[in-house]
Structure 1
Amino acid sequence: MTARPRLLLVEDDPRLGPIVRDVLADAWDVELVTTRVTALEAALHRLFDVLVVDRRLPDGDGLDVVRELRRFRVATPVLVLTALGEVHDRVSGLDAGANDYLVKPFDFDELQARLRALTRDYDAPGPSIEIGGWSFRPDDHTVHSPYSGRVALTDRESELLAVLAAAPDRVFSREQLLSAVFERGEQLGTVDTYVHYIRKKTERDLIATVRGRGYRLGTPA
């Protein structure tokens, strides 16, 4: 059986939230949260196909959720759901990184149609690379595990891991990695620093040190 697409609904209205959840539950696996903090916790550590985010939350603006997710390179489509319907409000939502904007009150058929369009048009990240218990997704600069959830990587961290993952049995010297990933003039120690960053975000065995030779992709449990 094919799993249903997953949707994160961020809505603090005690009446509207459950209604929207129940309506969407026919087609989506819906998780409902009610605050900015719980929205970020969910979206950064679990995988969703689309997010529906209300602007007015008890602990802040829902657009801050969108901005923070984009800062961490979470590219999941976002529909902002709000009572703020002026042109400048819609512009603010789109500028924050939202993909669509629907003003309350709304028709449930329109909401579902917009969500279908978002997920249909969204270019999902390319295939993942399995590294032990981790799943590396170079296109969206993330690694995932059942225990740590989604971990965002910087551009350089992702590029370094992608080079190692392209030839998992090969040992790369620091000079080779420096040339492949970093700007001319960087020191060899930069490679060691970024290996340390990746290990700190994931686990030490994700990248193995081969004494006297360099680094290769590891085999974490």
Structure 2
Amino acid sequence: MDERSTDGPRRLLLVEDDGALAGMLVELFTAEGFTVDHAPDGYRGLHFALTRAYRLIVVDRGLPGLDGLDLVVRLRQRAVSARVLMLTALGGCADLVDGLDAGADDYLAKPFEVAELLARTRALSRRAIDQAEVIPLGAARLDMAQRGVQLPSGDFVSLSGREFALIRSLARRPRAVHSRTQLRSRVFEGADSESIVDTYVHYLRRKLGPGVVRTVHGLGYQIGAL
């Protein structure tokens, strides 16, 4: 069963290992109108963020398994575009810089005032709404919320999680040529061979046509047009 949600614009991911705090935050964010998913550690947070569409991700820095900074770095490497608010007990200037450099959009030190947390959440939500939710692919469009491609004919083609991650990674830098090594690192972390990139390029071409991904011989792949 495909776990990806089509309710991305109203969905929030909370990655927090403190059960009592997480329970309180889930209630607060739900009252703000979000559908909230809770992950108690970094690896489960990574899984949720890569398989479902979120408007906001709220991440504790000190997480078991996968640290919050590392989690955000991996999300940005894989072109996850949700706004990220990092919560942390470390409130120094250097810690703030580390969080923002990792890819977080905002940073809030614990203990925090609930009113400030919710105000920051609303501000990030407004910025997320303003963010483009479609990327042009020639006459077609990559739909970030629905995780698929709207063809010029009007037909909609749904993509698997890895297919979507691959085409999104290519489409976010349309002029760049992406090596197979770079794509394996961003999209297929843990894969034994770079041939998995070629396999998923084949899947995309089969679904969307041969022009969707260009081969730049000796260098890698580049997004094409439909």
Range class of TM-score, shorter chain: 0.5 to 0.7
Correspondence 1:45-64 to 2 at 5 A: 45-64=51-70
Structure 1 residues 43 and 134: alpha-carbon distance in aligned structure 2, compared to 1, 3 A threshold: closer
Q: Does 1:103 align with 2:109?
A: yes
Aligned match of 1:116 in 109, 122, 136?
122
1:75 counterpart residue number: 81
Corresponding residue number in structure 1 for 2:201: 199
Corresponding residue to 2:15 among 4, 10, 14: 10
Give the distance between the partners of 2:160 and 2:168, measured in 1 at CA.
23
Q: Show structure 1 runs of 5+ residues with no match.
A: 138-143, 163-179, 183-192
Aligned AA (2:134):
P
For each residue in 1:73-119, what CA deviation from the matched residue of structure 2 results, as whole angstroms up to 9, or x when unmatched? 11211000111111111111011010000111111111111011112
User: CA 1:10/1:159 → structure 2, altered by over 3 Å: closer, same or farther?
Assistant: closer
Flag structure 2 segments of 5+ consecutive residues without an equivalent: 1-6, 136-140, 151-156, 178-194, 212-223
Q: Which residue of 2 aligns with 1:24?
A: 29
> What amino acid is aligned across from residue 47 of structure 1 in structure 2?
A
User: Which amino acid in 1 is paired with 2:97?
Assistant: V
- 1:155 Cα offset (Å): 7.9
Tell me the distance in 2 between the aligned counterparts of 1:99 and 1:69: 13
Please, what is the CA RMSD of the aligned residues? Answer: 3.7
> SS of the residue aligned with 1:152?
helix
Distance between the aligned counterparts of 2:44 and 2:162, measured in 1? Answer: 15
The reply on whether 1:125 has 2:132 as its aligned counterpart is yes
**1:7 maps to amino acid:** L
Aligned length: 176
What TM-score comes out, normalization by structure 2 length? 0.64
Moved more, 22-31 or 46-55: 22-31
Offset of residue 209 of structure 1: 5.5
1:90 aligned residue? 96
State the TM-score, normalized to the length of structure 1.
Answer: 0.65
CA-to-partner distance for each residue in 1:20-77, whole Å, 9 max, x for gaps?
1111111211110011111111111110001000011111310111100111111211
Residue identity matched to 1:158: A
Q: Secondary structure at the match of 2:164?
A: strand
C-alpha contact (below 8 Å) 2:73/2:103 kept by paired residues: yes
SS at match of 1:7: strand
Change (3 A) 1:126 1:13: closer
Q: Please tell me the residue identity of whatever aligns with 1:25.
A: T
Q: Secondary structure of the residue that 1:105 maps to in structure 2?
A: coil
- AA aligned to 2:26 is R
Q: Which amino acid aligns with 1:105?
A: P
- Cα drift, residue 205 of structure 1: 2.5
